[in-house]
Amino acid sequence: MTPPPRLAILFDNEPGLPGLTSLWGFAALIRVGGRTILFDTGSNGRVLLKNMAALGLAAESLDLLFLSHIHWDHIGGWDSILELNPRATVVVHTFSASRSTGRSRAFISWTPTPFASSSPYVP
């Protein structure tokens, strides 16, 4: 039996789980289908890594780094993650990938498509 998906907020400006440091920005850990995904990286790599360690999570265990958009409070820790886990797959919006840091890095880029009015996900 496949375990249910799990989500933990790792980085946020609002206090969350006990033992985590709050700071402006956002990052979430998602575990689904046997994969560990980091959604965004907050505004500060040191704080992100400290919060991950508080939950017993090592950067090396991440399979995928998904960056929602290139704003400082969502990508501030991505270099800290990639220094410890250079093999992590990075998913970033096509527009953002073209304006990345200039580091030599392979990205999986995606271009969002509008939901059709018949989509079950749109009210």
Query: What's the rounded Cα separation, in Å, for the pair 75 and 68?
Result: 9
23 within some domain: yes
99 within some domain: yes
SS3 labels along 45-82: HHHHHHHHHHCCCCHHHCCEEEECCCCHHHHCCHHHHH
16 within some domain: yes
116 within some domain: no
Is the CA virtual torsion 114, 96, 69, 37 positive or negative? positive
**Cα(first)–Cα(last) distance of the chain, in Å?**
32
Tally of structural domains, the chain: 1
84 within some domain: yes
| Helical (H) or strand (E) element with 6 | strand 6-12
Rg (CA), the chain: 15
Whole-prediction pTM: 0.76
Structural domain range at position 62: 6-110
| pLDDT tens over the chain, length 123 residues | 778 888 999 999 998 889 999 999 999 999 998 899 999 999 999 999 999 999 999 999 999 999 888 888 889 999 999 999 988 888 886 655 445 545 444 445 444 444 444 434 333
